[in-house]
Amino acid sequence: MAARITETLVKSLPSPERGNRITYDTELKGFGVRITAAGAKSFILNYRIAGRERRYTIGSYPEWSATAARKEAEGLKRQIDRGEDPMAKRSEERETATIAELCALYEERHLPKKRPNSQRDDRVFIRNVILPRWGREKVTAIRHTDIEALHREVSARAPYRANRLVALLSKMFSLAVKWELTKENPVTGIERNPERMRTRYLSADELQRLQEALDLYPNQQVANAIRLLLLTGSRRMEVLSATWDQFNLKAGIWIKPAASVKQAREHRVPLSAAALELLTNMKGSSQGRWLFPGKVAGKPLGDIKKAWASICRQAGLEDIRLHDLRHSFASYLASAGHSLPVIGALLGHTQAQTTHRYAHLLDEALRGATDQVGMLWERRGAS
CA angle, residues 164, 345, 240, in degrees to nearest 5: 55
Nearest partner of 245 among 233, 235, 253, judged by Cα: 253
Give the Å distances, CA to CA, from 167 to 52, 159, 191, 233, 305.
Answer: 46, 13, 11, 26, 25
Q: By three-state DSSP, how is residue 45 classified?
A: strand
With a CB cutoff of 8 Å and minimum separation 6, the contacts of 232 are: 239, 254, 269, 271, 275, 329
- At 182 the pLDDT is 87
Provide the 8-state DSSP code for 262: T
Residues 143-181 pLDDT 10s: 999 999 999 999 999 998 999 999 999 999 999 999 888
φ and ψ of 298, to 5 deg:
80, 5
Is the model's pLDDT at 97 over the cut of 70? Answer: yes
Q: What is the DSSP track for 115-163?
A: -HHHHHHHHHHIIIIIHHHHTTSBGGG--HHHHHHHHHHHHTT-HHHHH
Chain centroid to CA 183: how far? 22
> Which tens digit of pLDDT belongs to each residue from 252-308?
888 888 766 655 667 788 888 888 999 999 998 888 899 999 888 888 888 898 999
Percent of the chain at pLDDT above 90?
Answer: 42
Helix axes 66-81, 86-95, angle to 10 degrees: 100
Running DSSP on this structure, what letter comes out for residue 303?
-
The burial class, CB within 10 Å (0-12 / 13-18 / 19+), for 296 is exposed
DSSP lists the bridge partners of residue 254 as 247, 269
The conformation of residue 172, written as its DSSP 8-state character, comes to: H
At 242, phi and psi to the nearest 5? -70, 145
CATH domain 7-95 topology: Double Stranded RNA Binding Domain (3.30.160)
**Higher-confidence position of 98 and 338:** 98
Q: What is the pLDDT of residues 182-211, one digit of tens each?
A: 889 999 999 999 877 666 777 889 889 999
pLDDT at 77 over 50: yes
Q: Give the β-pairing of 247-248 and 31-36.
A: unpaired
**Would you say residue 333 has pLDDT above 70?**
no
**Predicted local confidence at residue 152, as pLDDT:** 95
Distances (CA, A) of 198 to 78, 167, 253, 328: 59, 20, 29, 11
Q: What angle do CA 18, 35, 40 make, to 5 degrees?
A: 95
Confidence of residue 83 (pLDDT cuts 50, 70, 90): confident
Alpha carbons 245 and 273: distance in angstroms, whole number: 19
C-alpha 60/C-alpha 335 separation (Å) is 76
Mean pLDDT score of the chain: 83
Nearest 5 degrees, angle CA 359-CA 360-CA 362?
A: 75
CA angle 252, 361, 202 (to 5 degrees): 70
Fill in the amino acid letter for 118. Answer: S
Q: Which residues pair with 46 in a beta bridge?
A: 55
Comparing C-alpha atoms, which of 216, 214, 218, 217 is closest to residue 228? 214
Domain locations along the chain = 7-95, 99-178, 204-366
Cis amide prior to 341 (ω within 30 degrees): no
User: What's the CATH code, domain 204-366?
Assistant: 1.10.443.10
* Spatial distance between the Cα atoms of 218 and 316, rounded to a whole number of angstroms: 17
pLDDT of the residue at 362: 44
